[in-house]
Chains A and B, each alone.
Chain A
């Protein structure tokens, strides 16, 4: 194995709103553990952006160095620019491990980078460790969460994308005297082939996104209409949560696909998931069965959703949910 490579590099994703993506701090915390197990190697970050003002976050989360690549052209994520820069920085700084959040941005960027470097990339991990040989052991769900696989990488750097909201942020993060190193982007020769010409933000009636919410109230076919989902919104507001849906509700046109949960939708793992009038087909449950606590409300006592629920209530959503909202407010 190539002994030249040393340290952990975290891709510090900046969101459209110019903020540090929350998965970065989750990665930072786990990276500290991994770095310890590797005998105290550095934990560094790469920031690609049009401006950079977040110095204190990096100092307060134990980063040794932050490589900053700034340019007007880098205001929004673009595959060509961002992958070229990431590859250049990896080649220059030679980390042994590269960690990237498994966000839409991260999952667009990471395979482009790993494929160029001809190195391994483990997708959408839920657990990271260092094995007895000092290699990154990345564990991830496959077959829709039916099987877990621990994957190792023969080449350097060892790369992984990590699912947001699974690893924990540090409660008492280490403060470090972080070194900020500006690097010049080598992107002048690149003619980007893609251009964002419009962006339409989702209307979130509850103000929360399902991939970030700690509480999700999900509705299915049994809600019968868009109005049924208004009821769930009310409950979501009372609990500070977000509204999700089964595919049947999305296909009926009552709600947007962006809130669909399951195999052809999103995977979520909130602290509390309340399934309202959802039958619990596997294609739905693979997207939510890792939630901490699951409640199901369904008229049919034989509904399969009850097999994954911690508490199952047999009854009518239209009678129970309004009453619950009343009691929660009361």
Chain B
């Protein structure tokens, strides 16, 4: 089974700093693998360990330093990784991003059986890239996946979390899965993993390598554009009180609730 993982580098939400002009400061901010993509990696590696003929390739579209997260994924047990990187990709929205990733998958991996994405990225937070990749590749899709429970004869069984419960879904490959947080935690790489990652060659491909034209990528290839970005009004903390006893505390709470 040929598995492709799509992962994204995002600024650490715990480390968001503001410039004087109320824009998000990007320099000097810690970058991490998008948290949901960590679960995607773990899920892919688990599936690989269960099957005996699976190969996992990880891909990211982003600036050259995104190589770091690809190496991290290799250290966690992914077989190989490549980067899709080009100045012309800048300003891509989800349509242009998914078109670029789908083209990269077709050109550089060939007939993938399974593509695993995270459900959301914590920066853009659109949850649209995965389903759009599925559409571009003409694959089936299952979103909000918590777990892969079975694989038999080209059919994966997965659990999907919806508002009112959990669905068990059979999906015929090829397919795209978008992963939520799982009930298991992403593994820490072992020492062999670090060694493998250190030695791994991460190829980088540009627009021409994946046979796209300037009209199809980046800002030009994006049907949406940001007209304005602003900082929401910051909530001011209210009173912090240390009541004399639980009775007084409860009374204050009751009054506040009923206000």
Contact = CB atoms under 8 A, between A and B. Distances in A.
Contacts of A308: 235, 237
Interface residues of B, number: 77
Interface string A53-93: 00000000000000000000000000110010000000000
A153 interface: yes
Contacts of B95: 114-115, 118-121
B227 interface: yes
Contacts of B130: 111
A144 to B, nearest CB: 5
Interface in B161-193: 161-172, 175, 180-181, 183
Contacts of B134: 112
A141 B125 CA distance: 9
Contacts of A80: 140
B169 A197 contact: yes
B175 A153 contact: no
B14 A148 contact: no
Contacts of B24: 143, 146-147
Contacts of A155: 223
A316 B243 CA distance: 11
B237 A306 contact: yes
- Chain A, interface residues (CB within 8 Å), range: 35 or more
B251 A327 contact: yes
B95 to A, nearest CB: 6
B198 to A, nearest CB: 29
Contact of A311 (B144, B163, B238): B238
A199 B167 contact: yes
A194 B249 contact: no
Contact of B171 (A120, A193, A324): A193
Interface of A: 16, 79-80, 83, 103-105, 107-108, 110-112, 114-116, 118-124, 131, 137, 141-155, 193-202, 209, 211, 239, 257-258, 260, 263-265, 272, 281-283, 286, 289, 293, 295, 297, 301, 306-316, 319-320, 322-324, 326-328
Given A148-B232, A198-B168, 14 more contacts: A107-B127, A108-B141, A110-B128, A115-B128, A150-B229, A193-B172, A194-B175, A202-B165, A257-B181, A263-B122, A264-B180, A293-B256, A295-B256, A323-B250
Interface of B: 11, 13-14, 16, 24, 35-36, 93-95, 98, 122-132, 134-136, 140-144, 146, 157, 161-172, 175, 180-181, 183, 222-232, 235, 237-243, 246-247, 249-254, 256-257
